[in-house]
Amino acid sequence: GVGMGMTAPVSITAFPAEDGSLQQTVKVSLRIPSQFQANPPCPSDESIKIEERQGMTVYSTQFGGYAKEVDYVNYAAKLKSALGSEAAYRKDFYFCNGYDPPMKPYGRRNEVWFVKE
């Protein structure tokens, strides 16, 4: 019963397949606004879960435009290539992040994050 508005980024946890494509399962995460952090309202929908994301260090790349799955996959591949074999990061998932409302046509910001191990 509490309206919280939209927060940024909208973060999608992507699970890559062996060939780099994304598996059908994804997890969409939204940040709970600051005023609700200490005591978040209980979701009325059973499929919505409250999770606390621990601090992390990420390798990141940024790009513009209206991001589609293919864009995130391509930029994840570019980030993987740029990091080479020396960087230690989680290979079983990565984050696809969008920062802008759908109605913003220009200057859009999207990021791919690999979580450092």
Following DSSP, what letter does each residue of 58-100 receive, concatenated?
Answer: EEEEEE-SS--HHHHHHHHHHHHHHHTTT--B-SS-EEEEE-S
Contact 100, 8 (CB under 8 A): yes
What's the confidence (pLDDT) of residue 14? 93
Q: Is 36 helix (H, G, I), strand (E, B) or coil?
A: helix
Whole-prediction pTM: 0.88
Over 90: is that where the pLDDT of 9 sits?
yes
pLDDT tens digits along 52-104? 889 999 999 999 999 999 999 999 999 999 999 999 999 999 999 999 998 99
C-alpha of 67 from chain center: 12
Mean pLDDT value of segment 43-48: 89
Confidence of residue 44 (pLDDT cuts 50, 70, 90): confident
Domains of the chain by start residue, with CATH? 10-115 (3.20.80.10)
